[in-house]
Structure 1
Amino acid sequence: MVPPDLRPSDPLVARDIYEGRFSLGGRVIETHGASPFAVEPPSPIWEERIHGFRWLRHLQGADSDLASANARALVNDWMQGPGRSLSGPAWKLGVTAARVIAWMQYSRLLLTNSDHDFYRRFMASLSRQVRFLRGLSPSMNDDVEALAVRIALCFASQVLPTAGRVERMAARNLEQQLRLQILADGGHVNRCPETLAELLADLLPLAQCYVSASKPVPQEIIRAIDRMYPALRFYRHGDGHLAMFHGAGHNNTELTAAVLRHDQNGARPMSHAPHSGYQRLALGDTVIIADTGLPPSGVHASFGHASCLAFEMSSGRQRIVVNSGVDRLNREKYRALARMTAAHSTVVVEDTSSARFVRFGAGRPDEAMRSVAGPSTVQIERDSEADAPAFVAQHDGYVRPFGVWHERSMTLLDGGKRVDGRDRLKPARASGSAVERHYDIRFHLHPAIRPEMVGVSTVRLVSNHGEVWHFKASPGDVAIEDSIQFSGVAGPVRTRQIVVSATFPAIPTIGWRFQRN
């Protein structure tokens, strides 16, 4: 059995690979005849992807004897190099899981017209990698990497000769992880929107394996897929990109579209995701997605950002207000900055983040983060009127350091042509707070948006498509400042932001509006 693959392929990439040019994770390496597994990797993400072998899909898409021979030569290089050991970047559990799935999905490409020696060594290496995952999987944390490993082992139980007991155990273990990690509203417990597309791209082919073998698909796989489809649509802007919250950055719109094409029920996006902690306002072609949840905790805190009550806004195929996202090419270089509240479109009190994350354990990887301070309560009220969807929410992330709650309300009006918002700081105690606190409301703009001041409190926003919006706020001081989008296609890019500044308690409430011409 050969599992299907939903990931799009590109024949031009196949040609690049044949010529020794490997473009992965935004970095390009010319091997000049050397093995790509022997060159100095330009970034950690490039290294993970070269060893993950998902790029074999481009060679399979080329559908030629030359592509097949090229694929075999590259797999042979890996087996004679990194594949000989059980350590190093090539043997990270998540990377190994991706490689196991890829080798099974592209086995027809690799084994058609291959000689017996290659077939024997390929199957031996694949079986060894499966045993490696099977041996270490019980000691893993219940995180997204563990879920990827369980999916890979379930694939292996359907594709490779497997004892019935082992097959049943693989299904049970995967179902357990799905119950732990996929929330009732379809979101992942790490709160990262990108996670859903990646998981569906593997779960859908896995379900097809069971169908092709005339076996019942495990019920938890079906339930997870059915919940995840509307959740994935929930996070999607009009241009196909997923909202940039909690570790999401520039994402693969082609993968998201490919996954959604297999949604036979045509699931509509939800209006709110109470378990995942998000709100969605949609009217006309305007979409607003807001973070109204607590930062992810425990082993999932590595995805966490101090983004409570931040939002993103798009109009048609143009994103207007965004968060800074993360740099997918070098996630750790700017991760500390990207986590800060100031990197999100929300209120920042005294230049301090509403949540704080620290790395525990000397010598442990930077992913070993834990949340040590931040909101413990987010209160939400939603109005789902068809012609004026709205919500009001408040969080206590600033109560402990500054004695104030942050409350934000947003309403979408006039068929999506107007957004009314209000931010308010409220004293945590009835006696009030006499201490002055400076605060800023930040609205990070997509790089395609050009802002200019019109008067003292109005900003004119023009998109590359020629669409014009006006932003106005009162009271408070309105300014345009430099910003950065960490999630640019090739790394961080300069952009602009609107900043509304005031002092509490003199100005506790600021109203603002986006109006489309």
Structure 2
Amino acid sequence: MAAITRMPPPGSPLPGAGDRLRALAHRWFVAPLPDARGGLKRVLEPLRPGDPHRGVEMVQGHFRLAGQVVEASHKLGPDPFRPDEDGMARGDDEPDIELTPVPAQPPAPEPILDDTARPEDAALLEGGDVSAEGETPAMVFNAPTPALSRPDWLPDEASDAWLVAWQGFQWLGHLRAVAGPHGSRARALARALVFEWIAADRAEFQPYVWSPGIAGRRLAALSMHANFLIDADDDRLQAARTDDRRLMAALRQHADRLERMVKWRRLDGIERIQALRGLWMGRAALGAGRRRLARIAKLLMQALERQIHADGVHQSRSPVCQLDLVSDLVELKTIAAAHDADLPAGFDELISRLAAALRLMRHRDGVLALFNGTPEIPAARVDQVLGHVPARGMERLDGAVGGFERLAARRTTVLVDLGLPAPVTAGQAGFSGFSSFEMSTGRERLVVNCGAYVARPGPWMQAVTQAAAHSGVTVEDQGPQRVEAGSGERRRKAGPPVTIDRRDDEGAQWLEFTHHGFRDHGLVHARRFYLGPDGDDLRGEDRFIALPGRGEAPVRFALRFHLHPAVKALPIQGGAAVLVRPVHGPGWYVRADGASIAIEESVHMGHEGRVRPAQQVVVSGVAEGAETRVRWAFQQVQPRGEGDVRPQGGFDARPARIDDPRRAVPAVTEAPSVPQGAERDGIADPPATA
């Protein structure tokens, strides 16, 4: 293992501080491997197939996991299933594999992919200003990848997401999927890596490696791919060779360790779910009885019921965590059904509720909203997971319960994050996205969050967690804080009180919420949304209300609307408004009243860690006095056809009053009027005054 100690992921209760404590923990965990001359009692077949292309890359020494590539050096002997130069077959023995250290490489710079953004720009993002020079065509600059040598299973250059996949043996499925000329080599490499890991684990205890969530993932992977790793005698999977007995013994000891971990009272959140799922898989493969499996399943069900809200949203409030959870539970359910193992009553209903909420977290192009550490995930992967769960009708998410609201009218979808930052044990990575939203029209995403950077540790990974990287509100470059009644640091221990009011009337939708997250600045913030019934009129209002005793000092605020990289923003009316133009479909006017509006540069974290240049519309001003009110609007450009006799009026940037739905803007069911002087292509500037 690595020479340094890498601490467990956030939320893991495994103790790991101090050499003496680690030595005691290692002495407790490591015992002589038991004799395991029997075979597997149950063959668990994974539901999710691996990626053979990734497996071939691994055979060639490139381990691409969670958006990052780490190089490994291994030498493969001749393939036994291909003839030697003399034309004679080698026989049935597998090729020899030697894992060898690789030469040291200088530290690799931050990867710069598909953009002109620089790593040092990440620091500017925290303050809300990103520099991306010029507009250049998309290019790919392949930065040197970090090296993974034989003794280093915890490379410093690897991200947490990569390490979770690496230590959780996610790569086993990819190697198993390799067929053809590389198939035997992939199996030999998988065996070599597993046995090397067993030897390294017994030589040195690492808290990170034995955090319960990672240990559960690893045991589940070993259980499902054991018949790929050991020698098979017909279909009995008899462990005859010494290496195979070692693997069976390690599998049994792994399950014993994990069973001790799940008894810890502090183990909660995603970590507990993954630990219990892995324990069920391991015990099932080793032939545990029905009663023992039922007890583990009952503990898993209890953990799920505590963590999943009534509207189906997991307490992490992270769409990517929800996606992984649905996928893992569906796989567990399928394996249990294949071996006639009972799961608790309500397990199917719980999966259905999770999947229904996940469907509501998607835009119309199938991509998940980029909330709380969710990277951009291809829609095909989401479709693959949801394809195993029958669709269930669920009309809306409940912001007061799960922390998300969804407004939808015609082709327009608006997703709003109203939840407080989840506790660390929930599995969320501390993103400051409270009060942010995303907006799409048809299959075009307009307003987005910057997303999550998963390629490798560095300034970008921290920068995208800041409030300025979300389409929300900042005060003095800070997002809302977790506060409560009291004073000093005591106010940061719980979330700000949030009041939410939502109403629907004749297709129009209103959403208003108020919170005390800016109490440190002496302000109460209230935000209001209105979406017209035709989906072409989104209006908002932000109010900053001074608390008693705040003083007269002005406070700077900013409303940020990060745009998708495919969307272009142009200033119009001398900079008094903005025209937003997606790739397809009509453009949108963006106006603001009560603050200045400007276009600034931004970044977007694309698939597998690509940093792409983008733009953001920033509405900024100063909050002073008893109350400061800012109104803004996204209104779709309406083309004028021949014979159009609509009145030549201005457009009203005022949001509808939430306390009386029928006092919306007059003629709300009509499309916004277009000012005089509209161009023939349908793009016209809004008037200078509201």
**TM-score category, normalised to shorter length:** 0.7 to 0.9
Q: Cα distance 1:137–1:345, how it changes in 2: closer, same or farther (>3 A)? A: same
Partner SS, residue 272 of structure 1: coil
- Aligned equivalent of 1:38: 150
Superposition deviation, residue 501 in structure 1: 1.2
Paired residues for 1:459-470 under 5 Å: 459-465=578-584, 468-470=587-589
Say whether the 8 Å CA contact 2:172–2:190 is kept in structure 1: no
Hey, what's the Cα distance between the residues in 2 that align with 1:352 and 1:80?
47
Partner of 1:450: 568
Between Structure 1 and Structure 2, the one with more strand by share is: 1
Structure 1 residue 47 corresponds to structure 2 residue 163: yes
1:94 to 213, 224, 234: 213
Once the two structures are overlaid, the 10-residue window that deviates more, 115-124 or 147-156, is 115-124
* Residues 1:512 and 2:628 are matched in the alignment: no
Structure 1 contact 230–269 (Cα < 8 Å) conserved: no
Q: Give, in whole Å, the separation in 2 of the partners of 1:37 and 1:258.
A: 35
Q: Is the 8 A contact 2:311 2:397 kept in 1?
A: no
Q: Distance in 2 between matches of 1:82 and 1:175?
A: 31
Tell me which of 584, 598, 611 is aligned to 1:479. 598
Deviation at 1:55, TM superposition (A): 2.5
User: For 1:299, what is the secondary structure of its paired residue?
Assistant: helix
Contact 2:326/2:385 (CA < 8 Å) preserved in 1?
yes
Cα deviation for residue 511 of structure 1 reads: 1.5
Tell me if structure 2 keeps the 8 A contact 1:94–1:148: yes
Relative to structure 1, is the Cα distance of residues 29 and 309 closer, same or farther in structure 2, using a 3 angstrom cutoff?
closer
Q: Which of 59, 82, 86 in structure 2 is aligned with 1:18?
A: 59
Match of 2:502 in 1: 382
Query: How do 1:35-184 and structure 2 match up within 5 A?
Result: 35=99, 38=150, 41=155, 42-44=157-159, 45-63=161-179, 66-67=182-183, 70-85=186-201, 87-88=205-206, 89-111=208-230, 113=232, 116-117=240-241, 118-139=243-264, 140-184=266-310
Is 2:508–2:531's contact at 8 Å kept on the other side of the alignment?
yes
Tell me which amino acid in the other structure corresponds to 1:376: P
Asked whether the equivalents of residues 378 and 607 of structure 2 are also in contact (C-alpha less than 8 Å), the reply is no
2:624 corresponds to 1:502: no
1:224-303 aligned at under 5 Å gives the runs 224-251=350-377, 253-268=379-394, 270-297=396-423, 299-300=425-426, 303=429
User: Could you report, residue by residue, the CA deviation over 1:255-314 in whole angstroms, capped at 9, with x for unpaired residues?
Assistant: 322111012244446243431111101122221110112222363385333322111112
Provide the C-alpha distance between the structure 2 equivalents of 1:319 and 1:477, rounded to a whole number of angstroms. 24
Greater helix proportion: 1
> Structure 2: how far apart are the matches of 1:279 and 1:260?
21
- The structure 1 residue matched to 2:541, chosen from 422, 443, 447, is 422
Greater displacement, 208-217 / 226-235: 208-217
CA contact (8 A) 2:420 2:482 kept: no
Deviations 1:131-183 (A, max 9, x none): 22112222252121121101111222333211455323312221221122112
Distance 1:239 1:76 in 2: 42
In structure 2, distance between residues paired with 1:444 and 1:418: 18
- CA distance in structure 2 between the partners assigned to 1:74 and 1:270 by the alignment: 45
Do 2:448 and 2:471's aligned partners in 1 also have CA atoms closer than 8 Å?
yes
Q: Which residue of structure 1 aligns with residue 521 of structure 2? A: 402
Equivalent residue of 1:149, what SS? helix
- SS of 1:384's equivalent in the other structure is strand
Shift of 1:63: 4.7
Decide whether the 8 Å contact of 1:459 with 1:471 is kept in 2. Answer: yes
Aligned length: 503
Rounded Cα–Cα distance in structure 2 between residues aligned with 1:338 and 1:394 = 25
CA 1:92–1:65: 2 relative to 1, 3 Å: farther
Measure, in 1, the Cα distance between the counterparts of 2:43 and 2:393. Answer: 28
The partner residue of 1:318 within 444, 463, 479 is 444
Summarize the Cα distance change of 1:10–1:189 in structure 2 as closer, same or farther, 3 Å threshold.
same
Question: What CA distance in whole angstroms lies between the structure 1 residues aligned with 2:414 and 2:184?
Answer: 46
Q: Calculate the aligned-residue CA RMSD, in Å.
A: 2.9
**Would the aligned equivalents of 1:154 and 1:174 in 2 still touch at CA under 8 Å?**
no
Aligned partner of 1:387: which letter?
G
| Amino acid in structure 2 at the alignment position of 1:17 | M
Could you list the per-position Cα deviations for residues 394-413 of structure 1 after superposition, in whole angstroms to 9, with x for gaps in the alignment?
A: 11111x22222211111222
Conserved 8 A contact 2:417-2:433: yes
Out of 469-478 and 209-218, give the one that drifted further.
Answer: 209-218
Q: Which runs of 5+ in 2 are unaligned?
A: 1-41, 76-98, 100-147, 234-238, 484-489, 638-690
SS of the equivalent of 1:495 reads: strand
Measure, in 1, the Cα distance between the counterparts of 2:215 and 2:540: 47
> 1:200 & 1:513 partners in 2: Cα distance?
36
Post-superposition offset of 1:382 = 0.7
2:330 alignment partner, SS class: helix
Say if 1:79 and 1:125, in contact at 8 Å, map to a contact too.
no
CA distance in 1, matches of 2:588, 2:340: 55
Structure 1 residues 254 and 4, CA gap change in structure 2 (3 angstroms): farther
SS of residue paired to 1:79 = helix
What code does the residue aligned with 2:613 have? R
Q: Under a length normalisation based on structure 2, what TM-score does the superposition of the two structures give?
A: 0.67
Aligned amino acid, residue 126 of structure 1: L
Q: Give the letter aligned to residue 379 of structure 1.
A: T
Q: Deviations over 1:333-361 (max 9, x none)?
A: 4454333322221221222321169xxxx
Q: Specify the SS of the correspondent of 1:138.
A: coil
Check whether the contact 1:294–1:308 (CA below 8 A) recurs between aligned residues.
Answer: yes
Provide the rounded CA distance (Å) in 1 between the counterparts of 2:598 and 2:542: 17
| Inter-partner Cα distance in structure 2 for 1:83 and 1:452 | 60
User: Could you say if the C-alpha distance between residues 22 and 304 of structure 1 is closer, same or farther in structure 2, counting changes exceeding 3 Å?
Assistant: closer
- Provide the rounded CA distance (Å) in 2 between the counterparts of 1:332 and 1:373: 28
| Distance of aligned partners of 1:32 and 1:482 in 2 relative to their CA distance in 1, 3 Å threshold | same
Q: Conserved in 2, the CA contact under 8 Å of 1:472 and 1:513?
A: yes
Following TM superposition, by how much is the alpha carbon of 1:65 offset from its aligned partner in structure 2, in angstroms?
8.0
Which deviates more, 116-125 or 170-179? Answer: 116-125
Correspondence for 2:94 = none
- 1:82–1:90 CA contact under 8 A, matched in 2: no
C-alpha distance in 2 between matches for 1:76 and 1:33: 10
Asked if 1 retains the 8 angstrom alpha-carbon contact of 2:601 and 2:615, the reply is yes
3-state SS of the aligned residue for 2:260?
helix
User: How far apart are the structure 1 equivalents of 2:63 and 2:592?
Assistant: 48
Counterpart contact for 2:563–2:615, Cα < 8 Å:
yes
- 1:299, 1:253 → 2: CA distance? 28
Contact 2:72 2:149 in 1 (8 A): no
- C-alpha distance in 1, partners of 2:559/2:246? 60
Per-residue Cα deviation, 1:4-48 (whole angstroms, up to 9, x for no partner): 544454332232223222211222234343536727644133333
Q: Which residue of 2 aligns with 1:339?
A: 465
How many Å apart are 1:477 and its aligned residue? 0.6
